[in-house]
Chains A and B, each alone.
Chain A
Amino acid sequence: MKVVLKELTKIFPSRDKKDRTEVVAVDNFDMEIPDGKLVGLLGPSGCGKSTALNLICGLEKPTRGRIFFGDEEVTDLPPEERGVGMVFQNYALFPHMTVEQNITFPLGNLKGDKKLSKEEMKAKAYEAAKLVQIENLMARKPKEMSGGQQQRVAIARALVKRPKILLLDEPLSNLDARLRLQTREEIRRIQRETGITTIFVTHDQEEAMSISDMIVVMKAGCIQQVGKPQEVYDSPVNLFVAKFLGTPAINVFKGRIISGGLYIGDAKVLDIPDEAIMGTKDRETVETDGREVYVGIRPEGFILDDNGPLTCRLDRVEVMGRDISVVSFHDAATAADTVCVRSIISAENQVDTDKDTVSFSLKPDKTHIFDMESEELLYYTKE
């Protein structure tokens, strides 16, 4: 079942009596989530991603806009008529019920000719439990289980009614690091096996990128970019997206474009090919010569090159095994946390740590140029 959001907006009235400004949690969402995909809603905390999930679920009513599941509009339907399954951040397992009772709970709500016998319920519960591999824990109470197991029970409960859409709110945030890796594979597997369109919310970009078919990056209630994880990583539409994705984070410099060349400080670090067009998001050509820009360079975009144009003051080299991380300083680097330049290069390279400086040349496809005012991407090559 595909999910279509049209101009979806949610405005919360102010809770503070002195400050009457409203909070726009979700701002004019236009988006289509294709059938059978695993989609990650990604953004920093407070960006409205959980609200967006609640709107899709039906727990919140949108202020404006419409929601479609397939061709059917569900905007005014209560959650139970939408055919969604939801897994909450803290799992919300009923502490006084066993795993089996928890999983069969949604089935007990069915009425009329949909009503199931005890045996049918049990069979369905076992089917769902098997899918998440907890069929041997059915008699336990939630508090007798580990976090990962509780998570599986919550998923089983959400799946037992065979929802058209599965929604997961921060599904991994309550798990420790090792379990998190394991569980995200698990979610991927379950989604593949069931083929249910699944939307999950997370603030962890690595988590979203690793398992999603598609990610939606949000900031302050607005969608920034939608796309396959690799695409979004490789061509971020603005500085926010570029900074938000990738660890270590992208290095940002202040730069300038002067007659076909990109300058950081006094050094011309890249040629801008003649056929490249500088444009805004709407592909309007802009005057670029002499323009102040931000230059974002991915850590893996640096090539160790003694004759390279970008020379930084060497601080230290961190060994990471396969790679080494060269930490250096450059005056044009921006933002408090990125005054140092972090570049990841293959461990086969040798860095002379006795020297005071280190020089790089840059990989053009790992270097992104953003307008200083709008922070939008400014670089499109002619096709």
Chain B
Amino acid sequence: MGWLYMLPALLFLGVFMVYPLIDVLIYSVEENYNFASQVYSGYGLFNYSYVLHDTYFVQALKNTFIIVMITVPVSTGLALLISLGLSSISKLKSLYQTLYFLPYVTNTLAVGLVFMVLFKKTAYSDGLINLLIKAFGGNAVDFIDGPYWAKIMVMCIYTVWVVIPFKILILTSALASVNQDYYKVARVDGTSSLRIFCRITLPMISSTIFYLIITGFIGAFKAYSDEVALFGTDLNSAGMNTIVGYVYDMLYGNSGGYPSYASAAALILFAIVFTITIINLLISRKMVTQ
């Protein structure tokens, strides 16, 4: 009887989740797979080696790591600061909270275009950000089609803007759930705000912070659509591709038709994410109190 209720879910999960999981492993070891004729020459690790030696993949790997290493600490730290500020006020608090969460629900492709417009330097205007930079005595840079570091910068800024609402929401509710009596005790003893933060607040919300870091890492490794929004679909030629982008490009589009390479790249990504998550968990087990 129970299995009857489960039937639709099992059917869909079987076809679109379990079978693909096995299939992706098979794809990744089928050498010289031809998508059109569906033939392959044998099994081996050639696909992995091809992907790892592909300059586009290496570029994507580098970009992805830069995004991860910059946006995860920056967004988590900034979210913590903002949440601390939020929890210290009472007037307008819920208004700010709601406002800060707005980017979470918006279409990142759409808002990405606005960021592009703001940062882009064109023939007829330097764009708002460049005008600002000039006003402070700097030189205008094309953040969208210009030098690598500028493109990385705007990418990180946009990524932080996109991921931070979730972190602020989670951190504010974690801060709110810390029993106020702890702060009262500390106040009676005249504890400085810095000591309260380090000795009470941080340990009390450490598990939440680690949760955010772990999910942040996982999310940042899967970066893709934010980059499309800023730099267009041809990420390889912009030099801004990510691992996920590489997977999709291998599958479809101008350079597509290579599910084997895509599978190998996806599995490499999975291995990286898996390893880093395990490392994170090990660190958090040591650091998280309680």
Residues of A within 8 A of B (CB): 57-59, 78-81, 84-86, 88-90, 92, 94-97, 105-106, 108-109, 157, 161
B120: shortest Cβ distance to chain A, in Å? 47
| A88 in contact with B185 given A96-B289, A96-B290, A109-B192 (CB within 8 Å) | yes
| A106 in contact with B189 given A96-B203, A96-B204, A96-B290 (CB within 8 Å) | yes
- B134 / chain A contacts, CB cutoff of 8 Å: none
A109 touches B189 (CB 8 A): yes
Interface status of B190 (Cβ within 8 A of chain A)? yes
User: What residue in chain B is nearest A157 (Cβ atoms)?
Assistant: B185
Chain B residues 185-232 with CB under 8 Å of chain A are: 185-192, 195, 199-200, 203-204
With beta carbons under 8 angstroms apart, the residue of A84, A85, A86, A92 that contacts B182 is: A92
Interface status of B179 (Cβ within 8 A of chain A)? yes
B188 touches A80 (CB 8 A): yes
- B289 / chain A contacts, CB cutoff of 8 Å: 95-96
A80 touches B184 (CB 8 A): no
With beta carbons under 8 angstroms apart, the residue of A85, A92, A94, A157 that contacts B184 is: A92
Taken together as a complex, chains A and B put the C-alpha atoms of A4 and B191 apart, in Å, by 26
Interface of B is mostly: helix
- A105 / chain B contacts, CB cutoff of 8 Å: 186, 189, 191, 199
A79 touches B200 (CB 8 A): no
- B182 / chain A contacts, CB cutoff of 8 Å: 92, 94
Q: Give 6 CB contacts A-B under 8 Å.
A: A81-B190, A84-B188, A89-B181, A92-B184, A95-B289, A108-B195
For the complex of A and B, 10 pairs with smallest distance between CB atoms: A80-B190, A96-B289, A92-B181, A106-B189, A96-B203, A79-B188, A88-B181, A86-B188, A92-B185, A109-B191
Chain B residues 251-280 with CB under 8 Å of chain A are: none
A96: shortest Cβ distance to chain B, in Å? 3
- B181 / chain A contacts, CB cutoff of 8 Å: 88-90, 92
B209: shortest Cβ distance to chain A, in Å? 14
User: What residue in chain A is nearest B191 (Cβ atoms)?
Assistant: A109
Taken together as a complex, chains A and B put the C-alpha atoms of A108 and B194 apart, in Å, by 12
User: What residue in chain A is nearest B183 (Cβ atoms)?
Assistant: A92
User: What residue in chain A is nearest B180 (Cβ atoms)?
Assistant: A92
